Every structure is written in structure tokens, then in C-alpha cells.
Structure 1
Amino acid sequence: MPLHTKLKLFINCPRRRPASKMEIRASVRLQTADDLFDETHRRFVKLVEATPGLRKVAAKKLQELAEDLVKGNKEPSMRIDSDPFEKIRHGFLTFKQQHFLKKPDHFTKLATVQSPKFLVIACSDSRVCPSNILGFQPGEAFVVRSIANLVPKRKENDLSGTSAALEFAVLSLKVEHILVIGHSRCGGIRALMSMPDEGTISSEFIERWVTTAKAARLHTKAVAGHLTLDDQCSFCEKESVNQSLSNLLTFPWIKELVAQDKLSLHGGYYDFVEGYFEQWTVGCKAGKAENLNQEIINHCMWC
């Protein structure tokens, strides 16, 4: 075959045409963009960790980048309303911009260890998040949330999640304060006060759980039984907090630390209808746990 014919066939064959350097580079970029990003991110983190002086500079640059991303990704409120995860995403990016990136040293420390001073026991009710109400920042409070913010008495072989949280917070984290917070219009307390004295159980878990505060129910019926159900519930919402504080002292290691003044017990009550917060401290010594309600000190109201 003549040479010019061979050259013509070679030139016209697309499978044999070598790719240009630009095309090769583009292909590599398309195939390895994620890998390059991950590798760059890893190298960047290692560099910042090995060079403390770069943290402030890096934090500032990351903050500027985050601000640009937030500005560039603002979307109509209609989408946020229709997609709840868009609201969560926006909330996270706002948190990162306003807190995480502004305090890199603080969050680096939190990544290693936590040392909160408070153990907060609050209700699972969506309206009463203790961090929002009391302004706790990451690392300041170890939080346990359950129906009606109840603390059951210690029992042998008890697998209560609340008991496990108490043990970890008190013995491992060595918190200095335990704060039990009740609140207005608590559904768990209303379920407790609405239960018949005798009768069938209408729920699988709720009624058995709220009977943890049956002593508070009995006391409420004795003192405020002549009032309306709403007023009885309001009374019991606070009374159940005091019972939970009393139940805390059934854990021997809590009672011992309280008697040694190494741990303090506090009650709280958040009224989101009227907009106030009550706080009280329990002063109790060894042997006085049974008369806990008579030992309340330092009662105050914030409004």
C-alpha cells in the first residue's frame, strides 16, 4: 500500500488519534476531583494540626469561604419550608460560620475531651430545649432528655438510660451540678394526673414510665385535689421535679458526693406561657434525703 494511503488511513481513524495533553489533563481532573479534594483536605488538616500558628489564619480563611458559600447558596424560603432538611442544613452552616470557625481552639479541645460542669435532666418536649432556653454552648452541659424529665429510683440490675447517664456524668465527667428542669403544659405530667386510680393501661410504655412520679401525683391530689386538672398539672410539674431530686439520692455515689459538698442538686421550672424560669437549690446532708422538700434553699425566679 502506498505510503500516502497509509498516512490517510491513520489520520482519518479516530481510535488511533492520540489525545492532546489538554484532553488528558481534563480527563484526569474529571476522574480524580473527589480524590484530590479528600487528599488536599487531609494534608491541610495535618498541616494545621502540626503548625498551631496557622490555626487563626486558616480559621479566618475558612470563615470567609463559608460566608461566600452561604451567600452564594441562599435559596427561597419556600424551599426551606417545603424541605425540613434545608432548614437543618442552613442551621448547621450558620452554626459553623458563627461558632465553629470563630473558636477553632475551643472546638479542637472539645474534640479531645469534654468537661461540663452541669448535668441537665430535661423533658423531651420539642418546646423546651435547655440549650436554647439557658444558652448552654457545646461542652458546657451533659444533657439527658426523657418524657416529663423524670429520674427513677435506683434499682438493682436497672438498665435505665437515665441511670447510665447519671453514672457517666457524675463518676466519669465529674460534673459539679445536676439540674432537673420541669416545664409548663407537660404532656407526661398530664398523662400521670389523668390516669385512673385503678384500671387498664392504655399505652405500652408511657403510663408505666410516668408512674415513676406516682408519689408526686399522690401529694398533688392531697394538697391540690380541689383545683382544676390544669392547676393540678401545674402543681405536679414542680412537685415531680422535687421527687426526681429526691430519687437522685437513692444512688449512693450521688448521695455521698452531695454530703461532701462536691455535687449540688438543683431544680428548675420553665413556664413558656408566661415566660419565666424558676430555679432552686436543694440543701441536704447525709440522712436528710427523706425530708428533701423541707431543705429547698436559694429559690429565685428569672423573668
Structure 2
Amino acid sequence: MTTLLSLGHGYSARALSRLLLPRGWTIHATTRSAEKAEALRGEGVIPHVFPGADLTQALSEATHLLVSAGPDAEGDPMLRNLRDAIAARAAAFDWVGYLSTTGVYGDHDGGWVDEATPLTPSTRRGQWRVAAEAEWQAIPGLPLHIFRLAGIYGPGRGPFAKVRNGTARRIVKPGQVFSRIHVEDIAQVLAASIDRPNPGAVYNLCDDDPAPPENVIAHAAELLGLPLPPAEDFATAEMTPMARSFYAESKRVRNDRIKDELGVRLRYPTYRDGLRALLDEEAS
């Protein structure tokens, strides 16, 4: 019997569930509200509203552990609540996955990074992630795998709605590039790692085509047959501090390891493939 306990069962974890449930897996998942718990139950997942729920039984049954909950200034929220219980069962897990971010690498002026690149985050969120990775790595005997995710998109998280309603913006910052990953490719990488565990491994999850963000908006408009949103200069554009912080770092992320070690062939190797598929899915 294979049982996954998914801590912070969000967008990416739900995509993994859609692959594992047909294979006969049992999945326990934490969520923050009773409403979300009911939605998960309808998907075939056993929900636990957390914090508050007693996860003793779920932890005792789990053969696999996936951690998607993000850290904050005080550290990893799951370890604050469950560190001792997880550490006590560390050797009993077949696989543990922690979803991190490529933000841990910091700014490289558009240059390439890989899993061996030093961690030099320039944002507060990136610094929290580096600390959280270290917290998980410090648990003795835990078969930990770290997955550093690029910008996530997929059903319900594409640019089409904003392009359609006229709120999409083409912010142009010379030299700025981002890497991205379709949620279904995240799921297949996680599943491949579960099938071929390598405790201690770190993987970058991104597609093959780092690109300026304005190009993605432009392609979405082209696919929809709508006018191109006007370009705005990053230096003078009105943006929230949070939105502006996403432009603080520019890098291209290598994904060779998921291909060479896990045998992954990306379903959506470029944002153009992914956006076309999203639009086709909408139409069907």
C-alpha cells in the first residue's frame, strides 16, 4: 500500500494527485478551510484541515511525504508543528519531496544557473526558502528530494483572462528573462522521482525556453486574435512592491537533471506549447 501525505495540498500537489490516484494510491492532504477540504474529498483525497487536525494516523500510514507549504519569516510552518513527529518517522518514508523555488539562486543578470549554483537570493521570499530547505535537510535520515520550481502556469493560471479583459500588461525591462513550468510537467517530474528515488537530490523544474515576460503576454494575445497590450517601461510603470519584486532577479534555469536522471520528457517544453494547449483545453 502506497500512501502520500501532502502537506499544504495546493495547485501542484493536486496535479500530482491526478496521476497517483488512478495508480491506487491513498492520499491524505492538509488544507486550511473546510470548504477546500470538501473539494478535495470530491477529488478522492482524504482531507485534514490544518492546523487543528490530528495528523498522527496519517503520518503513521504515510509511505511518502510531499511538502508544498511555503515558509514565512519564522521558518517552515509544517516543521513548526510537525518536526518531531516527522523526524521520528524519517527512516520509515520511502520518499519525501519538498517544493522550493528557483528564487533561491538570486539574480544572475540573465545568465544560466543549475542545481550546483550557489544560493544567493536577493529577495526576502528567496531567503526564507533557502532557510526552509536547510531546515528539512537537517532532519537525520529523511529521504529528502528538493524540487526548485520556476514560475508555475496551467489551467486557471494562464494569461488569457487578463488579455481578454484588457488588464494584461507588457512590462518591459531590458535583459529580463524568466523560466516557467507547466503544472502537468511538475506532476510528471514528481511522479518520476517517486518511481526512482534518490535521497539528497535537488532538481530544477522548468521548461526549455526562458523568455522575457512581455513575450508571453504577446503570444497569448496573438493566440486569441486580440490587440497586443501596449509596452510599459519597467522603470516608470506603476506596480505594487510585490509585483516589482518579481523583476528583481533575471536568470535562465537549466533542467538537464530531470531529463538525464529521471528520464522526463516535458509535455510542454516551451511556453508556446503550454499556452496553445491551455487554449485548446478551454475550447474543448
TM over 0.5: no
Q: Which has the higher strand share?
A: 2
Q: Which has the higher helix share?
A: 1
Larger Rg: 1
TM-score normalised to structure 1 length:
0.28
TM-score normalised to structure 2 length:
0.29
